[in-house]
Structure 1
C-alpha cells in the first residue's frame, strides 16, 4: 500500500515571552537581531510519520502531548515551523466541534459551506445534502442558525458533514464523546463502513479500549515527540504502563530515596539469592511472553548455613504501578526446597501462563525462615518482564471461561 500521509522532520515552534514588553523589544530589534527575548516551545519536535492508505491509526498521549497540534498541521489549520508534509487525497476532519461553520448560517447553509471548503460544487452537494440531513437527524433545526444548537446537535451536523463527503482521510478527535448513545452507535457503524471502503482514519480518544477496538496501529506522542509507533496492543499496553507508573509515583520520593528505603534484608552468613531467570517452555531465557505461554522461574541461591529449618522461597508478581498481582511461596504450597551448603536451584512454573493482560510487570523474590515472616533476603523488582496480549478482554486478569447455551455446570476449560 502506498503512503497517503508522509510527515518528515516536522516541527511546530511557539515563541514564549515572559511579558508583553519582551515581545515589543524583540519586535523593535528584529532587524538588528542582537538579542532574543523569547523561549522556543516545541509543540511538535522532529515528527516522522508515514500512514498507508486504509490504515486506522490511533493517536495516544496526555493533554498537551501534541496530538491536536499534529492533526491541525495535517489538515492545514496550522502551518508547521519546519519539516515537510505530503498528503494524497481529500481530508475531512473533526478536530474542533463545528470548526468551519458560520454560527449565523442555518444548518442547511452550513452544509453547503462545508462542501465548498471540501472543494465540492453546489450541484455536487445537492446530491449529498439529503443523506447528510438524514444522518444528522436534527429535525426542523436544520433550518435554524447553528448558534442556537446544543453541543449534541452541533456534533450531529458536524459528523454527518464529515463522513458524507467521501473523504480519503477522516480525522476524528474525541468527537464521539459528544452526543447521545444512539448517535454514538450510529457514528461507530458509519466509521466501520468507511474502514471497509479503505478510508484512512486518524483517531484520537482517551478511551484506550476504543482505540484497541478500532485501530490497526497506534502512535504514542509524548512532549511533542513520537515515543512509540507500531502494533496496537503493544503500544497501548506500554502507554497504559506509563500512565499507571506516573500515577503511582506522584508525590513519592526520588528513585534514589526509594532505593534507600527499600527493606532488603540480606543476611550473608545464612543464604543469598544469586540469580533469577525467566525461562520459556523450551528452557530459553527471555523477557517477553504471550499471555498463555508457560513461564518457568529459575531461582539460584547460595546457602551458607545449613542449620535453618524449613526455609521458604517466595515469588511475587506486581504490576509496574506496584499493584500486587500474585504472591506464591513454598510454605503455602507445602513444598520443601533444597537447602544444602553451596549452590541450590529451585523452579516455579506458571503452567497456564501468567493470565494478566498486556503490559510490563516485575517479580519480587525472597528467602524466608519457616513461617515466611522474617526475610533472610528480600529482593524487590528482581526482574521485569513483558506480557504481550491480544485485545480479548478487559481489566487485570483473564479468568478461564466459556460461553454456551448449556445451563449445566462443568469444567470451564472443557468442551
Structure 2
C-alpha cells in the first residue's frame, strides 16, 4: 500500500444542524409525547440549517491552503469537521497525519487551571505523552512570552495572552497538519510576526497548513493555493491571486446589487454571491493566462516598473520616484473602464491602493484598442523592504475587466533607518523657550 500524497481528502460532505426553538414553558415527558403524537415534533425536526452543501476538497501534503469567504459561508464549520469536533451529516473525510488546531479562542483551556497545567493537559489531548510535554514545556513557555503569568489561572488572561498560549501549544506538539481559524488577528504586531515566522518554518519542514482568514493579502502572498467557500459550497479552488480576484469581483457585484454581506445558511442556495458577469470563475477548464483567454475585455500585455535612473527590476531609494507602465489591449469598445493600482508589503499588508475613478482621472472613452497606461509616483516614500505592485482594469462599479497580472516586485532601500510603513517628508525644528519662560517669571 502506497502512502497518500494528500493530507486531507473531503468527499461530498454535508453538514446540517437542527434548528432549536427556545420554548417559553417547561416541558414534561407527557407534553413532549403529546407534541410528538400531534406531529409537532416531526415538524420541528424538519427545520434544519445546512451549513455545508456537498464539499469536495483535496489538500496535498506540504501545501498551505487559504480558505476565504464571507461570514456565514461555512468556513469555521468546515474546519471543525476536519478536526473532528463535528461529524459530517453525510460524506466522507480522509485525514493523513496528526492534526493540531487553533479554532475558538481558548478552546480546550480550563479557566481555573494555570497556563502551565493547561499546556500539559492540551499536549496530552493532542497526542503527546506526559514526558514529551514536560520536555518541551520550557520551549512552549518561552515562545508564549507569558512570563510569570504562566502559573496564574488562565481566566485572568487577556484575549492576546490566550492566543499566545494556544499558538505556542499547537505549534510545539509536532503536528503534520496545522489548522488555523482567524485566531492570529487577536495578537499584537510583534507576536503576529513571530507566529508568521513559525508557520514559515512549518512550510519549510513540509507541514500542511489550512488557514481561514479575511486578510486576503496573507492568502495571496503566503498560501500555495486558495479555496473560495460560498453559501456552503466550494465556488473555486486554485492559484490564490486568481481566486481572490474572482471573490472580490463577486463581492463588488453583490454590493452594487444590494446583496447583504452576510451569507445566511437558511436562505435559498445558502446565501451565495451572484455569478460573475464577465467570466464564470468556477467553469471547468477556464484559462486565465491573460484577459482574452478568460473572456474579459481588457488584456494587460505587460507591466513594467521603471526607476528614474535604472532599468526594470528596480531597487529604489525611499526618496526616489517610480513609474509603472502597462501595455494593454481591448477586445471590445469600453466606455466605462479604468485602472486600479495596489501596493502591498511582502507579508501581505496593504500599503496603498487607488484607481482612476477615485481620483477622477479622465480616460479616453472608449479605451483605445492598443494603449499604454503610465502611473507615475514622484516619491516612493516607503520604508526599506520588498513590495508587490498589482494592476487591474475594472469598471466604475468594480466589475473586473482584466484578470490582472502577476504582481511586480520592487525593493526600497534607504541609508536612514526608520520604523513603520512610510517615510513622509518631514524636518525637525528645536526652539528654546528660555526667553519666554524668563519673561513670564519676571
Pairwise TM-score range, normalised by the shorter structure: 0.5 to 0.7
* CA offset digits 1:61-98 (Å, max 9, x no partner): 11111000000010011111110001000111101111
* CA offset digits 1:129-174 (Å, max 9, x no partner): 1110000011111111111111111111110001111110111111
Q: Which residue of 2 aligns with 1:205?
A: 213
* CA offset digits 1:153-203 (Å, max 9, x no partner): 111111000111111011111111112211111111111111110111011
Pick from 393, 404, 407: which aligns with 1:388?
404
1:16 counterpart = 2:26: no
Contact 2:298 2:393 in 1 (8 A): no
Q: Which residue of 2 aligns with 1:329?
A: 364
Larger radius of gyration: 1
**Match of 1:328, SS?**
coil
Show the 5 A alignment for 1:119-138. Answer: 119-138=127-146
**Match of 1:129, SS?**
helix
Show the 5 A alignment for 1:4-403. Answer: 4-16=7-19, 20=23, 29=36, 35-37=42-44, 38-250=46-258, 287=297, 289-290=299-300, 292=302, 294-297=327-330, 315-318=335-338, 324=357, 327-329=362-364, 348-351=369-372, 357=390, 361-362=394-395, 385-392=401-408, 403=412
**Match of 1:389, SS?**
coil
Shift of 1:50: 0.3
Moved over 6 A (4+): 23-27, 30-34, 353-356
Contact 2:13 2:90 in 1 (8 A): yes
Contact 2:338 2:363 in 1 (8 A): no
* CA offset digits 1:322-367 (Å, max 9, x no partner): 9838653389xxxxxxxxxxxxxx953124699994667359xxxx
User: Given the superposition, is the C-alpha separation of residues 133 and 97 from structure 1 closer, same or farther in structure 2, using an over 3 Å criterion?
Assistant: same
Whichever structure has more strand as a proportion of its residues is 1
User: Given the superposition, is the C-alpha separation of residues 25 and 317 from structure 1 closer, same or farther in structure 2, using an over 3 Å criterion?
Assistant: farther
Contact 1:281 1:296 in 2 (8 A): no
**Match of 2:160, SS?**
helix
**Match of 1:172, SS?**
strand
Shift of 1:286: 6.7
Unaligned runs of 5+ in 1: 253-279, 301-313, 332-345, 364-379, 394-400, 407-415
Inter-partner Cα distance in structure 2 for 1:18 and 1:207: 35
Inter-partner Cα distance in structure 2 for 1:238 and 1:177: 24
Contact 1:296 1:347 in 2 (8 A): yes
**Match of 2:302, SS?**
coil
Question: What TM-score does the superposition give when structure 2 sets the normalisation length?
Answer: 0.64
Number of aligned positions between the proteins: 328
Contact 1:237 1:359 in 2 (8 A): no
Contact 1:291 1:358 in 2 (8 A): no
1:2 counterpart = 2:5: yes
**Match of 1:228, SS?**
strand
**Match of 2:394, SS?**
strand
User: Given the superposition, is the C-alpha separation of residues 350 and 50 from structure 1 closer, same or farther in structure 2, using an over 3 Å criterion?
Assistant: same
Contact 1:291 1:387 in 2 (8 A): no
Contact 2:339 2:391 in 1 (8 A): no
Question: What TM-score does the superposition give when structure 1 sets the normalisation length?
Answer: 0.68
Inter-partner Cα distance in structure 2 for 1:64 and 1:136: 31
**Match of 2:403, SS?**
strand
Q: Which residue of 2 aligns with 1:369?
A: none
Inter-partner Cα distance in structure 1 for 2:105 and 2:249: 31
* RMSD between aligned residues: 4.0
